[in-house]
């Protein structure tokens, strides 16, 4: 199974929920290794994974509005996790919501070791975690946004400096677009901009290229790593040596720049500048920036064919799973600590053979949470994990 080792580095010791979704009050003490959350529909399985994901990514993977996360009718809510690091250190992470009595809006506070965390980048690095949900089919079939998000969320967990570069880049993009909007009202395209107009634009272009090149460089590096690992995982799940998968970055820069053997930030910055220059007329007429990392994508190819267009539905499913598992492995390698692996309802989408292989793959992992509506007898070989029954916002441990 290649580089996958029993990476028992850190694990979640305790999770407490108060007024989170359908949980009024929960104390859950999972095991290292495999935790199987079993229950009928609408009992709170995905809600539990969502709580963990929030601590890792600060945002939900399901909803935009935080209000939906808080138990209906409650005035405050809390997620608290106790982590045990490999060296035995305990770490505490909390997310709390309370209603502001004046504005009536929800206010959120993030704490690490009991201290309020002000920089989101610092919060994001604490809990390494990878989540796979049925909706991840969009990684293969969906818009570029899904694939960019995979890279961005992964990189934010690998380095706070990526989070910084990404937010600076996004800010420069926002400012630049605002300015394009203003300029477009004044100039009659294709009339060139005046010297002073160019000068103002230049302020944001500089930032855009500098931070954009950092974003691009990190994405290119991590995509190479993912490309290497995804083959191992995919072949394991397929139990065969298929044609090699290539993850190919697609962006506004030349192919030579994107495929150069050494990723060079300076060259990428120059490339971005050139792309901006070439796109100015279009940017002005559309009043937004048409090139740059915010529009990029990557393709998954086999023998030169884009699998998004040529793969079968079943292949797409295995591919999306393989991509997520590859994400987890890359995180484990770079951080030297295996992330928590969360898989929501994954067995209902896989045939029994694939399910068996997936379980075999998961067993050596540090800590895993899988949810399923299938009763334990569904698993022919009962995996060596701990079962829990999830029912109406309560969790009960089941011993056989
Ligand atoms: N804010 C909320 N307050 C109370 N209950 C909620 C809230 N949001 C969702 N629920 C309930 O949670 C349940 C869905 O839980 P979920 O974890 O998605 O189920 P499943 O076990 O199928 O994964 C539903 O019964 C839904 O009504
Ligand atoms: Mg669910």
Radius of gyration, CA atoms only, the chain:
23
* Residue 189: pLDDT over 70: no
Same domain, 201 and 246: yes
Are the C-beta atoms of residues 223 and 249 closer than 8 Å to each other? yes
Same domain, 259 and 357: no
Q: How far is the CA of 344 from the centre of ligand 2 (A)?
A: 7
CATH label of the domain that carries residue 222: 1.20.1050.90
Atom 18, ligand 1: residue with shortest CA distance? 46
What is the predicted pLDDT for the residue at 184? 84
* Residue 385: pLDDT over 60: yes
Same domain, 179 and 286: yes
User: Of the bound ligands, which one is closest to the alpha carbon of residue 134?
Assistant: 2
Residues in Cβ contact with 265 at an 8 Å cutoff, skipping those fewer than 6 apart: 213, 214, 217
What is the predicted pLDDT for the residue at 377? 79
Are the C-beta atoms of residues 170 and 294 closer than 8 Å to each other? yes
> Is residue 211 included in any domain, yes or no?
yes
> Is residue 133 included in any domain, yes or no?
no
What is the predicted pLDDT for the residue at 188? 65
* Residue 64: pLDDT over 90: no
> Is residue 311 included in any domain, yes or no?
yes
Q: How far is the CA of 134 from the centre of ligand 2 (A)?
A: 9
Instruction: Please give the average per-residue pLDDT across 23-39, as a whole number.
Output: 96
Instruction: Please give the average per-residue pLDDT across 156-183, as a whole number.
Output: 95
Instruction: Please give the average per-residue pLDDT across 135-157, as a whole number.
Output: 97
- How many domains are there within the chain? 2
Q: Hey, which residues does 61 pair with through a beta bridge?
A: none
Instruction: Identify which of 18, 47, 49 to mutate to test ligand 1's pocket (most ligand atoms within 8 A of the CB).
Output: 47
> Is residue 242 included in any domain, yes or no?
yes
Same domain, 114 and 225: no
Does residue 65 have its Cβ closer than 6 Å to ligand 1? Answer: no
Closest CA to 133 of 328, 321, 4: 321
Same domain, 246 and 379: no
Domain coverage including residue 102: 1-128+338-400
Does residue 400 have its Cβ closer than 6 Å to ligand 1? Answer: no
3-class secondary-structure state, position 179:
helix
Query: Which residue, of 336, 353, 376, is where some domain finishes?
Result: 336
Across 182-287, the runs of DSSP E, i.e. the strands, are 245-250
What is the predicted pLDDT for the residue at 379? 72
What is the predicted pLDDT for the residue at 47? 98
Q: Cα dihedral sign for 170, 174, 179, 184?
A: positive
Instruction: Identify which of 42, 391, 394 to mutate to test ligand 1's pocket (most ligand atoms within 8 A of the CB).
Output: 42
Tokens describing residue 258: 């994107």
What is the predicted pLDDT for the residue at 5? 44
- State the residue for tokens 């809990």: 127
What is the predicted pLDDT for the residue at 2? 36
CA–CA gap between residue 215 and residue 397 (Å, rounded): 44
Angle at alpha carbon of residue 174, lines to 142 and 97, rounded to 5°: 75
Does residue 19 have its Cβ closer than 6 Å to ligand 1? Answer: no
CATH label of the domain that carries residue 377: 3.40.50.300
Instruction: Please give the average per-residue pLDDT across 258-275, as a whole number.
Output: 95
Instruction: Please give the average per-residue pLDDT across 184-203, as a whole number.
Output: 82
Q: How far is the CA of 375 from the centre of ligand 2 (A)?
A: 15
Percent of the chain predicted with pLDDT > 70: 96
* Residue 191: pLDDT over 90: no
Same domain, 187 and 311: yes
Q: How far is the CA of 98 from the centre of ligand 2 (A)?
A: 26
Predicted confidence (pLDDT) per residue in 210-254, tens digit: 999 999 999 999 999 999 999 999 999 988 888 999 999 999 999
Does residue 372 have its Cβ closer than 6 Å to ligand 1? Answer: no
What is the predicted pLDDT for the residue at 190? 54
Surrounding residues of ion ligand 2, Cβ less than 5 A: 45-46
Cα pseudo-dihedral 314, 317, 323, 328, rounded to 10 = -130
Same domain, 182 and 53: no
Query: Which residue, of 336, 354, 372, is where some domain finishes?
Result: 336
**Ligand 1 atom index nearest CA of 72:** 3
Atom 13, ligand 1: residue with shortest CA distance? 42
Q: How far is the CA of 7 from the centre of ligand 2 (A)?
A: 27
What is the predicted pLDDT for the residue at 348? 87
Same domain, 192 and 267: yes
Atom 25, ligand 1: residue with shortest CA distance? 42
Does residue 41 have its Cβ closer than 6 Å to ligand 1? Answer: yes
Same domain, 221 and 327: yes
* Residue 79: pLDDT over 90: yes
> Is residue 135 included in any domain, yes or no?
no
What is the predicted pLDDT for the residue at 6? 47
88: left (phi over 0), alpha (psi -120 to 50) or beta: left
> Is residue 136 included in any domain, yes or no?
no
Confidence of residue 141 (pLDDT cuts 50, 70, 90): very high
Instruction: Identify which of 44, 76, 394 to mutate to test ligand 1's pocket (most ligand atoms within 8 A of the CB).
Output: 44
Same domain, 95 and 178: no
Among the listed ranges 71-75, 176-180, 225-229, 372-376, which one has the minimum average pLDDT value? Answer: 372-376
Predicted confidence (pLDDT) per residue in 314-328, tens digit: 899 999 999 999 999
What is the predicted pLDDT for the residue at 193? 85
Same domain, 325 and 368: no
Query: Which residue, of 336, 359, 387, is where some domain finishes?
Result: 336
What is the predicted pLDDT for the residue at 4? 42
3-class secondary-structure state, position 203:
helix
> Is residue 87 included in any domain, yes or no?
yes
CA–CA gap between residue 162 and residue 307 (Å, rounded): 29
Atom 19, ligand 1: residue with shortest CA distance? 42
What is the predicted pLDDT for the residue at 239? 87
**Ligand 1 atom index nearest CA of 390:** 21
Instruction: Please give the average per-residue pLDDT across 164-189, as a whole number.
Output: 90
Same domain, 332 and 343: no
> Is residue 134 included in any domain, yes or no?
no
Predicted confidence (pLDDT) per residue in 208-221, tens digit: 999 999 999 999 99
Instruction: Please give the average per-residue pLDDT across 328-346, as a whole number.
Output: 95
Predicted confidence (pLDDT) per residue in 301-316, tens digit: 999 999 999 989 989 9
**Ligand 1 atom index nearest CA of 49:** 17
Distance separating the N- and C-terminal Cα atoms of the chain? 30
Does residue 176 have its Cβ closer than 6 Å to ligand 1? Answer: no
What is the predicted pLDDT for the residue at 176? 97
Does residue 39 have its Cβ closer than 6 Å to ligand 1? Answer: yes
* Residue 345: pLDDT over 90: yes
Predicted confidence (pLDDT) per residue in 88-134, tens digit: 899 999 999 999 989 988 999 999 999 999 999 999 999 999 999 99
């Amino acid at each position: 199974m290649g580089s996958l080792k029993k990476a028992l580095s850190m694990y979640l010791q305790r999770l407490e929920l108060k007024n989170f979704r359908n949980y009024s009050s929960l104390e859950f003490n999972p095991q290292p290794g495999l935790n199987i959350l079993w229950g009928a529909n609408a009992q709170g399985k995905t809600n539990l994974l969502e709580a963990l994901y929030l601590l890792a990514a600060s945002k939900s993977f399901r909803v935009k509005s935080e209000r939906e996360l808080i138990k209906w009718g409650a005035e405050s809510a809390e997620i608290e996790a106790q982590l045990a690091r490999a060296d035995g250190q305990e770490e505490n992470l909390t997310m709390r919501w309370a209603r502001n009595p004046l504005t009536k809006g929800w206010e959120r506070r993030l704490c690490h070791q009991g201290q309020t965390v002000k920089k989101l980048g610092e919060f994001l690095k604490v809990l390494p975690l990878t989540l796979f949900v049925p909706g991840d089919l969009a990684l293969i079939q969906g818009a570029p946004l899904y694939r960019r998000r995979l890279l961005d969320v992964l990189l934010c967990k690998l380095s706070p400096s990526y989070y910084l570069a990404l937010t600076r880049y996004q800010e420069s993009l926002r400012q630049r677009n605002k300015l394009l909007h203003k300029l477009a009202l004044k100039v009659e395209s294709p009339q060139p901009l005046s010297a002073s107009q160019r000068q103002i634009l230049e302020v944001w272009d500089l930032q855009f290229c500098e931070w954009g090149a950092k974003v691009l460089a990190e994405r290119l590096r991590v995509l190479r790593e993912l490309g290497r690992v995804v083959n191992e995982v995919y072949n394991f799940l397929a139990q065969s040596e298929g044609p090699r998968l290539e993850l190919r970055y697609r962006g506004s820069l030349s192919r030579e720049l994107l495929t150069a053997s050494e990723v060079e930030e300076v060259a990428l910055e120059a490339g971005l500048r050139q792309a901006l220059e070439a796109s100015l007329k279009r940017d002005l007429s559309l009043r937004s920036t048409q090139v740059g990392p915010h529009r990029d994508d990557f393709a998954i190819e086999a023998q030169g064919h884009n699998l998004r267009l040529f793969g079968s539905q079943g292949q797409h499913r295995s591919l999306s799973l393989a991509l997520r598992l590859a994400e987890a492995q890359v995180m484990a390698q770079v951080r030297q600590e295996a992330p928590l692996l969360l898989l929501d309802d994954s067995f209902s989408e896989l045939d029994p053979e694939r399910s068996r292989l997936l379980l075999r793959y998961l067993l050596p992992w540090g800590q895993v949470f899988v949810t399923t509506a299938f009763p334990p007898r569904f698993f022919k070989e009962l995996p060596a994990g701990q079962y829990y029954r999830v029912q109406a916002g309560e969790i009960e441990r089941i011993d056989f």
